[in-house]
Amino acid sequence: MRLAAAPASAWAALAAPLRRLRRLSLSSELLVLQVALVGGIVVVGGLLSYALVSSQIDEQYKQRALTIAYAVAATPDVLDAMDDRDPARTIQPIAEAIRRSVGADFVVVANEEGIRYSHPNPERIGERVSTDPSVALAGEVYVGMQEGTLGRSLRAKVPIVDGGGRVIGLVSVGFLEEQLAQKLAQALPIMTLTVLLALALGIGGSLVLARRVEQQTFGLDAREIAGLLEQRDAMLHGIREGVLALDAGGRVTLANDEARRLLALDAQSRGRSLEDIVPEGRVRDVLGGAEGGVDQIVLAGDRVLVVNRMPVAIRGREVGAVVTLRDRTELEGVLRELDTVRGLAQALRAQAHEFSNKLHTVGGLIELGRLDEALRFIAETSLVQQELVDLVQQRIADPALAALLLAKAAVASERHVEFRLADDARLPGEVPDVRDLITVVGNLVDNAIDAVAATPHGWVEVSVHVEPQGIGVRVRDSGGGIDVELAEEIFREGFTTKRAGSHHGIGLALVRQVTQRHGGWVRVTNDGGAVFTALVPVATR
């Protein structure tokens, strides 16, 4: 049991530091890895530098030994002494003098049989050289490391040649291995200082970089950053609101699926500026911050969007903005229908009140015994309302449009505005897709009623008729008209002369968008009041 427990405890002791390393923040992990990498590089670089310096010292001493050997072999006194009865007497002083002057460990001169004529140890003179002299005696040059009587040394051997070209001896010049090691040791402090300096710079740079990374990543580790990224993607692509992130230069840094759908952006929108991906207009102005405000309502294609733009600041510096987009198309339609229903309800309440007053009048006439006047009052009262209903039913064949006109007439009546159907109003067939036509007529009539509701004896006249290019719509009112300078501005999205409202500034822009989408148009002129004329190129059955 003890033997089985020992490996488990050893593994636990080994795994604990690994778990602590995995729990380090991203900056700490980078610091550990960088320090290890810098240390490894510095060590390898130091070893390579040591090998390079050692090789350079060896090469330097090889060339130095070879140069000295050539110089000794060419010395006239040495050449002349080779034929003397006692060459050592002349050559030994010369060789020793040269050896001491150049710092060599030995300068040995030998004859063609390898017998020494000079040596740092005079007792060795007359003996045969300890290393193989055959290469030099053959007329070649030898440079290398050999073991001699003084120890292991780097030596150069060159032949001594007389005037006739015959090899008469050799010169061997050498430097002991200890001298080379001492020379290398002299270079070690500079090499060590260089290595330590490089290591200090590397660790210092790693610390600065780790500090910078820690500030940028808020001390999170790699798994936490990956988890946050996954959560962010899941959240952004899972919510039904559009989210658009912009940098300080107005370039898109993020657009979730809903934002791309609402703004009709392609998948390559990231990194591009708003000017490149969003057409010129109010949508781009609101997204870019040229128009500020909360819950800005804009038209993007066929959609009514609620846009909010919030600047983003990091450490007190503005780095961009986040734009949220909510699709309000269906809600806008519901709100308009609700406005219509409210108007109808108010009209019905007013009519019920008015009907109650008229009923009391009829009852009073009957009580007074004036039956003829009561019957005449009833006929006149019902004739006014029934006349408009019959007129709409006779001239407007589309039931949806006819219902809209009757509803608007009730709203106008409740607001004390006279509703008229123009003499040229004729729609003999049904419209297959009447929604766009209802949008045009409903918005134009609403604006006309709003324009004259506050004026006495105000009226609104509506004409819907068939033209060769489609269906023409004309809405006139008895108001003060439209300023000529604003004839185009009133169709701009967001423009309104009303003080408050949930969807002001959208109606006329929506009318223009609907008509232009079908290839039609909408205009405004003045003729005693404002006259809005529109062409909706849709077919009738």
Q: pLDDT at position 473, please?
A: 93
Q: pLDDT at position 494, please?
A: 64
φ and ψ of 468, to 5 deg: -60, -35
If one counts every other C-beta atom within 10 angstroms of the C-beta of residue 26, the result is 20
- The DSSP H or E segment spanning 205 is helix 177-217
User: Closest Cα to residue 349, out of 502, 357, 287?
Assistant: 357
The DSSP-derived string for 408-423 is HHHHHHHTT-EEEE-T
Q: Are 521 and 500 in contact (CB under 8 A)?
A: no
Amino acid at residue number 428: P
Show Cβ contacts of residue 276 under 8 Å, excluding neighbours closer than 6 positions.
Answer: none
Q: pLDDT at position 22, please?
A: 54
- The DSSP H or E segment spanning 55 is helix 26-73
What's the per-residue H, E or C state across 346-405?
A: HHHHHHHHHHHHHHHHHHHHHHCCCHHHHHHHHHHHHHHHHHHHHHHHHHECCHHHHHHH
Q: DSSP secondary-structure letter at 251? A: B
Q: pLDDT at position 32, please?
A: 80
User: Closest Cα to residue 161, out of 73, 85, 66, 67?
Assistant: 73
Mean pLDDT per 10-residue segment, the chain (541 residues):
50 53 65 81 85 87 90 88 86 90 90 89 88 88 88 90 86 89 83 83 80 70 67 68 82 81 79 79 77 75 78 80 78 58 61 67 78 72 67 86 84 84 88 84 89 88 90 90 79 63 64 84 88 86 69
SS3 336: helix
Distance between CA 395 and CA 425 in Å, rounded? 7
Question: CA quadruple 301, 303, 304, 307: dihedral positive or negative?
Answer: negative
Q: pLDDT at position 234, please?
A: 66
Show Cβ contacts of residue 182 under 8 Å, excluding neighbours closer than 6 positions.
Answer: none
Distance between CA 78 and CA 159 in Å, rounded? 12
Both tokens of residue 239? Answer: 């919510």
Q: pLDDT at position 497, please?
A: 61
User: Closest Cα to residue 437, out of 387, 398, 484, 468?
Assistant: 398
Show Cβ contacts of residue 188 under 8 Å, excluding neighbours closer than 6 positions.
Answer: 50
Burial of 168 from C-beta contacts in 10 A (0-12 / 13-18 / 19+): middle
Q: pLDDT at position 235, please?
A: 67
